[in-house]
């Protein structure tokens, strides 16, 4: 099963994706995690991506498309995957369609977690508090200024993806303001119907 999760930063994509990994035994492909890994490892991609990520901007389409293209070739993706944080621009969505077509694969579900923007700011503040309480380092792009910039970028570049997938009748939406369990149930119902 190949699934795309759409939604603003802080909408709960990562939380829901992690749960599905355990239940459906398919990997979560988070371009954000992969890029943070590249930054930590100091690879050429990481060096290129670091500043733009910290400021809340988007890494270039070419870089992330290449990362995903390689990653979905790996053995653990044979039975499918969950894309979390990719695509983030219409160009990336078109590239993904092209990549899958080349490999004779299709997307089974595109699910958008719809959330209220005001609530996102408090959710992210909570995430920062929990991270600090757990003694872990806080993501630089979770600071209030960078987070606001991520929301601006989301509105301008990523939100149009809803229209892109709706046009081809592939978009399903879930109310991301419900509890984590209720969101999980709604997602499961959509995935079970695939």
The sheet that has 81-84: what strands, in order across it? 28-30, 81-84, 2-6, 109-114, 171-175
Closer Cβ to ligand AMP, 85 or 109, answer by number? 85
- State which of residues 2, 19, 50, 150 lies at the interface with ligand AMP (CB under 6 A): 150
Contact status: 35 vs ligand AMP (CB under 6 A): yes
Closer Cβ to ligand AMP, 28 or 92, answer by number? 92
Segment lying near ligand AMP (by CB under 6 A), choices 28-36, 38-46, 120-128, 176-184: 28-36
Closer Cβ to ligand AMP, 44 or 192, answer by number? 44
Q: Which residues, 44 to 73, sit near ligand AMP by CB under 6 A? A: 52-53, 56-59, 64
Asked if residues 67 and 34 have their Cβ atoms less than 8 Å apart, the reply is yes
Looking at beta carbons, which residue is closest to ligand AMP?
32
In the three-class reduction of DSSP (H, G, I as helix; E, B as strand; rest coil), residue 56 is classed as: coil
> From CA 122, how far away is CA 128, in angstroms rounded?
10
Cβ 192 to ligand AMP, closest distance in Å? 26
Q: Can you say how many angstroms the Cα of residue 29 is from the centroid of all Cα atoms in its chain? A: 8
CA distances from 183 to 10, 96, 180 (A): 14, 26, 5
Asked if residues 28 and 133 have their Cβ atoms less than 8 Å apart, the reply is no
Cβ 100 to ligand AMP, closest distance in Å? 16
Contact status: 88 vs ligand AMP (CB under 6 A): yes
Closer Cβ to ligand AMP, 86 or 164, answer by number? 86
Closer Cβ to ligand AMP, 40 or 185, answer by number? 40
Contact status: 9 vs ligand AMP (CB under 6 A): yes
Alpha helices in the chain, H assignment, sequence order: 13-24, 31-41, 44-54, 61-71, 90-102, 117-133, 144-153, 160-167, 180-192
Cβ 69 to ligand AMP, closest distance in Å? 12
- Could you identify the residue written with the tokens 């699910």? 111
- The residues binding ligand AMP (CB under 6 A) are 9, 30-32, 35, 52-53, 56-59, 64, 85-86, 88, 92, 141, 150
């Amino acid at each position: 099963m190949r699934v795309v999760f759409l939604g603003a930063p802080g909408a709960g994509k990562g939380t829901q994706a992690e749960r599905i990994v355990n239940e459906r035994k398919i990997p979560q492909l988070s371009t954000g995690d992969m890029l943070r890994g590249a930054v930590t490892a100091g690879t050429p991609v990481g060096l290129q991506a670091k500043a733009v990520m910290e400021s809340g901007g988007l890494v270039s389409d070419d870089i992330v498309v290449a990362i995903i293209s390689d990653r979905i070739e790996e053995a653990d993706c044979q039975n499918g995957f969950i894309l979390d944080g990719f695509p983030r621009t219409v160009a990336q969505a078109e590239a993904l369609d092209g990549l899958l077509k080349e490999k004779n694969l299709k997307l089974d579900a595109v699910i958008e977690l719809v959330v209220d923007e005001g609530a996102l700011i408090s959710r992210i503040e909570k995430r920062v508090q929990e991270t600090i309480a757990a003694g872990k380092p806080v993501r630089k792009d979770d600071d209030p200024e960078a987070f606001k910039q991520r929301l601006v970028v989301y509105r301008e570049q990523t939100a149009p993806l809803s229209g892109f997938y709706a046009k081809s009748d592939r978009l399903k939406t879930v109310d991301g303001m419900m509890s984590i369990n209720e969101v999980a149930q709604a997602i499961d119902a959509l995935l079970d119907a695939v």
